[in-house]
């Protein structure tokens, strides 16, 4: 005859057989609306619909083949929530302590060791309705800088020859024969 603890264990085991635990699945497609619906394939090959939960302020659309950790709410496969997604096919190689956001197209923002942030893409557009301000002693560019409007400086503008102020001084001192210096002076 079974003891009371053994009987309780048997009853719990019998009850838990009908409760599905968290599981791994592979993404097959997404549906976009107020919530991101996902279709996934469980480890047993079954097709399972679910809902992709993401952290506030972040959103992504995992590609088919991405891996999920899915939790059946209440142990029921009829209401499955994906709480984590991963796609090792596109993941960046990073070091301990680093953070990266990346896409399958090779774009990424990588917060590296040594307080360096690297952004890689083909085109980067920053939209700011008032202004963009960089608080740094130096801004460098390896290519051209183009502007569609005025460029203003509170200090000198210098090229590889001299400053604009040096050009003004040359202009102000020049004469043509016995003519007076230019007026107005610059």
pLDDT tens across the length of the chain (186 residues): 788 888 788 887 776 666 677 888 899 988 888 888 999 998 888 899 999 999 999 999 999 999 999 999 888 778 899 999 999 999 999 999 999 999 999 999 999 999 999 999 999 999 999 999 999 999 999 999 898 998 888 888 888 888 888 878 877 777 777 777 777 777
Domain spans of the chain, in order of start: 4-86, 90-141, 151-186
Is the pTM value of this prediction over 0.85? Answer: no
Backbone Cα Rg of the chain: 32
Whether domain 4-86 has CATH 2.40.50.140: yes
């Amino acid at each position: 005859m079974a003891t009371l603890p053994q009987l309780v264990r048997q009853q719990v085991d019998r009850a838990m057989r009908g409760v599905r635990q968290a599981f791994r699945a592979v993404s097959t497609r997404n549906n976009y609306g107020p919530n991101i619906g996902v279709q996934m394939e469980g480890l047993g090959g079954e097709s399972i619909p679910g809902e992709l939960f993401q952290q506030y302020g972040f959103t992504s659309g995992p590609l088919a083949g991405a891996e999920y950790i899915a939790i059946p709410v209440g142990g029921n496969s009829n209401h499955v929530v994906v709480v984590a997604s991963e796609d090792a096919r596109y993941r960046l190689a990073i070091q301990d302590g680093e953070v990266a956001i990346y896409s399958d197209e090779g774009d990424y923002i990588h917060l590296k060791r040594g307080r360096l942030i690297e952004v890689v893409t083909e085109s980067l557009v920053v939209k700011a309705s008032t202004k963009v301000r960089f608080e740094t002693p130096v801004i460098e560019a390896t290519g051209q800088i183009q502007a569609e409007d005025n460029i203003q400086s509170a200090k000198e503008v210098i090229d590889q020859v001299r400053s604009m102020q040096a050009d003004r001084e040359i202009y102000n001192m020049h004469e043509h024969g016995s003519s007076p210096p230019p007026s107005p002076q610059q």
